Chains A and B, each alone.
Chain A
Amino acid sequence: MRIEGSEQVEEAVSLAQQAEWQDITPIEQEEGEGSMCPIAYTDEYRELMGYLRAVMAVGEVSERALALTARVIEENPGHYTVWVYRKRLVEELESDIAEELDWVCDISCKFPKNYQLWHHRESLVTRLWAPSNALLVSEDQRVTNPVLRRELQFLDAAIDEDSKNFHAWSYRQWLVSTYALWTQELAFVDTMINQDVRNNSAWNQRYFAILANRNPSVVRLEADVAKSEIEYVVEHIKLAPNNDSPWSYVTGLLLRHAPSMLYTDLLPRIKQLAADNAYQAAMTLTPFYWSALLDIYEQQSADHPDLKKQLIDESSAICDQLASETDIIHCRYWNFRKTSLDTC
């Protein structure tokens, strides 16, 4: 590698040749005959690890140890104890947290699927601005505060890089819940859904934003919110009827939080869409429309036993159609579903 500045000279020189490390004897790894899945370590990694083991073995707290943990993590971020050690070092050395967060950004670019870096980030952010203090100001003030603004920007970049990065969406939920950033979240979700109507992570986040941390097992959705969600979903179904996400979102949302609205409100809207010349062909061909009808009829039948026979007949015909034409790959499931209609 080309050596330009003094920092790169230091990186190119092995630790054994550095004055700073003369007092340390590296600890070698032991293997034995039956060594399983050995890795062909580079000389650089082998040396870094020898010195890391030496400082970790005694729990040394120092800047050189901190720098060493960074180098190891940059090679092997799955080293699970080095993150614990680094967290302690950052705390005891009172390192600049903003700089540490910048360093974590670099790691996430290189290793977007690593788990540990996100949890390290959580502990840094809560140290930087305790949630109990943050919640004393308004949401607008929280969103514009440099700490949270940085996190939201970091998440924007991560999700821009991979719009379905599970860790990024999960961290985003942590941030939004911990710092109560609900209003901006619904707007963000809308932007993401409009960018890609098939992004299920975004639709899932919509459920998260609508419920805003309320306990799902006790929430009854307000009628106006449910109606507005139904309209939102129908508008997005129009963009791509054969798209699982909005269908499973709206049926799941209503089933849990406003079950009767499945048949009082959702049913007429989707039937209207299916009758509309512009959408009729697409709606008929998508299994999600027919599957939604089955879920709706099942709920309606449970609430109105007088309609049960008629609804079972219709559902039975839908199962046959799905099994034989519209969703053949799942035909065994649809045949099974047909046999269990009567027991609902």
Chain B
Amino acid sequence: MLPSEAVSQDASRMTVAQLCLVGLATLGQLNDILSETQRAQMVDWIYEQQIPRAGAYAGFRGGSLFGPHSSCSYAPANSANLAATYSALCSLLLLGDDLSRVDKQAILGAMRQLQLESGTFVPHPGTNEHDPRFIYCACAISSILNDWSGVDKDAATRYIVKCSNYDGGMTQARFQESHGGHLYCCVASLSLMKRLDALPDRQRTLKWALFRQGGGYHGRTNKVPDVCYSFWIGAAVEILGGHDLVDTGAVAYFIRQCEADIGGLAKWPGYRPDPLHASLGLVGYSFCCPEKFPRMSPELLLPESVLEAHRARQTQ
């Protein structure tokens, strides 16, 4: 159970859950720590967050805080969110579910309505918040469901290309500061759409990513290293084919420095741990020492083995 101070995460429990499962999966412990009954109960809880109707609000919501579905007649009050839908699908796969209860058409129908003319996505109706995080979620969902009818790939690609910055980095919207998190979302989206060649200068982008390393990885020029960038930058580097150009020893050393006394990983050495940094730090660590961990997909924050089993089921 998370402490009351974590209440600002109440609408993101689905994502926190995904991160916890990813962390356990990276350690190869998921099926040992969680019994079959526990996993089945968690799967049920996730499906309880699926909005039981089609339309723009369809998909999975971020938590149970919105109340019982039947109690709500004002649609905007009980809405899915692209990030939560992505987290839900990943979590279901990690828990061994076959996604048979997922209302695929409803999700893709909602997704179409969330893409703006500029190519980017809003996470749910009624907001003007839009950026590559949600393009990534849409691409990840489409890849997992193996159906791209919810995404105008040309428009999304055009938007991402506009996010490339003067220093080779990628950012949230044209002219904003190059940022490791948005680099990941842009590069992973292009990779999932099989449009990586749309990057205006792939070598320069790879260089920008590599030069976020000064020991550990930092997320923006002249900022301090933070363990979560071991994933955001580390995974982007993997996707761009730069694994052999990284000083993996130095990155691994930094991550180990971030290990907390009580367990888990913190964003900086000596800081307090949290699920996001613990999980992303672990996956980032696995890229540095691949022989010691189950192989993790840099594009989808899932073990390759889980992804392969899922693809095999899809082709049957």
Contacts and interface: CB of A to CB of B under 8 A. Distances in A.
A108 to B, nearest CB: 14
B90 to A, nearest CB: 13
B222 A38 contact: no
A336 interface: yes
Contacts of A36: 13-14, 16-17, 20, 42, 45-46, 91
B3 A249 contact: no
Given A27-B71, A37-B2, A57-B71, A78 B12 contact: yes
Interface string A200-215: 1100110110010100
Given A115-B129, A333-B245, A40 B11 contact: no
Contact of B8 (A77, A208, A329, A331): A77
Which of A31, A116, A204, A243 has the most C-beta atoms of chain B within 10 angstroms of its own C-beta? A204
B315 interface: no
Residues of A in contact with B, size category: 35 or more
A161 interface: no
A119 B128 contact: yes
A27 B6 CA distance: 22
A226 B40 CA distance: 63
Interface in B38-71: 38, 40-46, 48, 62, 64-68, 71
Contacts of A211: 175
Contacts of A245: 221-222
Contacts of B11: 76, 78-81
Nearest to B122: A119
Contact of B167 (A164, A170, A248): A248
A81 B250 CA distance: 42
Interface stretch (A82-90, A259-267, A303-311): A82-90
B207 A333 contact: yes
A37 B79 contact: no
A173 interface: yes
A292 interface: no
Contacts of B173: 170, 173
B124 A81 contact: yes
Interface in B79-102: 79, 81, 91
15 contacts: A30-B64, A30-B68, A34-B38, A34-B40, A34-B41, A34-B46, A40-B1, A49-B65, A57-B71, A79-B65, A81-B126, A166-B172, A243-B222, A256-B166, A333-B245
Closest 5 CB pairs of A and B: A34-B41, A252-B166, A59-B74, A84-B126, A56-B77
Interface of A: 27-42, 45, 49, 53, 56-59, 75-81, 83-85, 87-88, 111, 115-116, 119, 122-123, 164, 166, 169-170, 173, 198-201, 204-205, 207-208, 211, 213, 216, 243-245, 248-249, 252-253, 255-256, 329-333, 336, 340
Interface of B: 1-4, 6-14, 16-17, 20, 38, 40-46, 48, 62, 64-68, 71-74, 76-79, 81, 91, 123-129, 165-168, 172-179, 203, 207, 210-211, 213-215, 220-223, 244-247, 250, 275
Given A34-B38, A330-B213, 8 more contacts: A30-B67, A36-B20, A37-B2, A39-B4, A80-B79, A81-B77, A204-B175, A249-B167
